Chain A
Amino acid sequence: MSVDKKTVAKIASLARIRVDEEQQEALTGELNQILGWIEQLSELDTEGVEPMTSVVEMNQPLREDVVNDGYYVDRVTKNAPESAHGFFAVPKVIE
């Protein structure tokens, strides 16, 4: 499988990374080189093999469903590029 410029533009938009026309061209080549190399996995028969979900065989730990952390809005918003009244502030999204 390979990607064309249009696909690269679509992936970039899904990943929310601005990529201009010129970069799309270069990235198409680079991504195809990597995807072409990855393609060798297709020669391997994996019929009936379970996809790995966890590398360590263990049960997921459970804990009481209680609030055990929090109540420090100042610390949470301290690194925000913009915050106001204890909230993160973003550009206007509703007209």
Chain B
Amino acid sequence: MSNLTHLTIADAIDGMDKGDFTARELTEAHISAMDETRELNAYIVETPEIALDMADASDKRRADGKAGIMEGIPIAMKDLFCTEGTQTTAASHILEGFVPTYESTVSGNLWNAGAVMLGKSNLDQFAMGSANITSYFGNVINPWQRQGSTAQLTPGGSSGGSAATVAARAAMAATGTDTGGSIRQPAAFSGIVGMKPTYGRCSRWGVVAFASSLDQAGPMTRSVRDAAIMLEAMAGYDEKDSTSVKLDVPSYQKALTGDIRGLKVGIPKEYRMDGAPKEIDQAWEQGIEWLKAAGAEPVEISLPHTKYALPAYYIIAPAECSSNLARYDGVRYGLRVDGESLDDMYERTRAEGFGDEVKRRILIGTYVLSAGYYDAYYNKARRVRTLIANDFKKAFESVDVILTPTAPSPAFGIGEKMDDPIAMYLNDVFTVPASLAGLPGISIPTALSSEGTPLGLQILGKAFDEETVLKVASVVEEAAGFSALPQLIAGGK
């Protein structure tokens, strides 16, 4: 039964429809896979009993002819989504023990579509980080290793637990959230598919907020088709989120026609970075060739303000974080550390409850929003954000999608880049600009680095045109034929 954990969502649904196996059997296989890969620390809480109950209910729905589009599929839920009755921590000490009395819209949508919850996956604390090394519950380990080495690599972040468990075949898929690259970069580091939809496509209600003008939920899967299936289940208008968009959710699978003849693919010249490893450029060139061979036309474009995206992001995101995280005060939920006065209680609670990176960002955010600096920093960054969005708008007048590398390097070792916050921030150099512009993007694994670890390519699209993004991604996926497996995998290689 162990090969059940290697199936895609699409194949598993076929298998269950045909009666080859049940949701319970599929879930049991994944529960043992979670056991086997526990060394990855991909989960903060595993929920095997809930999973089995949900699987049984799913088998019954299928028998009754009431199967949803994710019916019986066991998934990991990033521990940033509030789940009713199951602890939700955002990987922080300050929310340790918090058990929501409500369900986030996106997780609720997935359960309504028939998905089964295996557990709550680990992440960077409050989704702030690019290596999954800021979790209060310990680092997540990438199931991939460099050739001839057992050194532990980072799975990327912030959705590192989600990426690691999907790569290790211990979940068929997982939810992620992406503020500046937190779905796409870990997908690239872990050799899986990760998609950030357009801002507004998925409801943010019930998702622990980091930077509300940027946060967006999305699917992390092992194929583009699976991403299409899962996005359809997650997306949709929600009146509880005033930034959720009232648009019909298309059947994304129908977009996967494989026909991209005549499509124009933008190649932004500013994404050729000095000092980036040669193999990143080579993988990119290869991607361009594949699309050309499929009948698309590469077009060189310019996104002139690209270099200002990261510094603008590191004003806007901390500013919003300092405001959003003001709610953790030891009064309504989570940790309380007693003090001599109310203010003293707040200060001690927040000092003990937040990790170093979270505190750094709250302090930067507080500073850039404080009297006298608001205009110089925060308003300046919002003006730069307009320029970046305009760059994309102009580019999309002449192209249908944009192709870039996902990250400037393959997965690095845990412990590397840790002393220098800015070196860590640079991981998101290719993902942040589209986040600032609210655009949809996907990362697909296409090649192995010289170290034997995965590399990803990113496809960006027009707002709410996830369909074209998925269509082009499936062509790249087909051409790449990426079938390599990580070293630390359930059931062995």
A residues bordering B, Cβ < 8 Å?
A: 1, 3, 7-8, 11-19, 27, 30-31, 33-35, 37-42, 44, 46, 49-56, 58, 60-61, 63, 72, 75-82, 88, 90-91, 93
Contact = CB atoms under 8 A, between A and B. Distances in A.
A56 B463 CA distance: 8
Contacts of A90: 331, 342, 345
B38 interface: no
A31 B384 contact: no
Contacts of B354: 17
Contacts of A27: 360, 363
A18 B348 contact: yes
Contacts of A54: 213, 243
21 contacts: A3-B367, A11-B370, A14-B370, A17-B351, A19-B351, A34-B360, A41-B381, A44-B384, A46-B383, A49-B386, A51-B379, A52-B389, A54-B243, A55-B214, A55-B436, A56-B200, A56-B463, A58-B200, A88-B331, A90-B342, A91-B339
A50 B383 contact: yes
B312 A79 contact: no
B421 interface: yes
Contacts of B382: 51-53
Complex A-B, nearest 7 residue pairs according to Cβ-Cβ distance, in ascending order: A51-B382, A55-B438, A81-B336, A79-B333, A46-B383, A18-B347, A18-B351
Interface string B231-269: 000000001001101100000000000000000000000
A22 to B, nearest CB: 13
A39 to B, nearest CB: 8
A81 B335 contact: yes
Contacts of B314: 34, 37-38
B350 A34 contact: no
B360 A56 contact: no
Interface residues of B, number: 73
B62 interface: no
A5 to B, nearest CB: 13
B352 to A, nearest CB: 8
A14 B343 CA distance: 11
Contacts of A50: 383, 386
Contact of A80 (B239, B312, B333, B384): B333
Nearest to A8: B363
A60 B332 contact: no
A30 to B, nearest CB: 6
